Amino acid sequence: AQSVTQPDIHITVSEGASLELRCNYSYGATPYLFWYVQSPGQGLQLLLKYFSGDTLVQGIKGFEAEFKRSQSSFNLRKPSVHWSDAAEYFCAVLMEYGNKLVFGAGTILRVKS
């Protein structure tokens, strides 16, 4: 069955440190992949997406993600985390002919000063 796994429920990093959030997917066809961010009490904001082409994609707020087909992964990275990045991050795969997004369970990022 198609699924998205985010192995880390919580991650804490120091402000200014680098960040990597992991995402693995299970899908038979070429995946369309997304990262969304959700601040407390808010909806989902699109950070970046991968459809095809260059496997390293750039997004908003200084985030990037790399698609690795051999590892079925789409990890999110940021070189230097800011306190305002504290939020919950969701990885998602667009499935069923673009009919629905399947989300991971999310990773809560805490930033310590």
Partner 1 sequence: ETGVTQSPTHLIKTRGQQVTLRCSSQSGHNTVSWYQQALGQGPQFIFQYYREEENGRGNFPPRFSGLQFPNYSSELNVNALELDDSALYLCASTQWVSGANVLTFGAGSRLTVL
Q: Compute and round to an integer the Cα radius of gyration of the chain.
A: 13
Based on CB atoms, which residue is closest to partner 1, 86 or 94?
A: 94
Residue 112's SS3 state is strand
Examine residue 86 and tell whether it contacts partner 1 (CB under 8 A). Answer: no
DSSP string computed for 24-48: EEE-SSPPEEEEEEE-TT---EEEE
Q: Binding marks (x or -) toward partner 1, 38..57, rule CB under 8 A?
A: ---xxxxxx--x-xx-----
| Residues that bind partner 1 in the complex, under the rule CB under 8 A | 4, 32, 34, 36, 41-46, 49, 51-52, 90, 92, 94, 96, 98-106
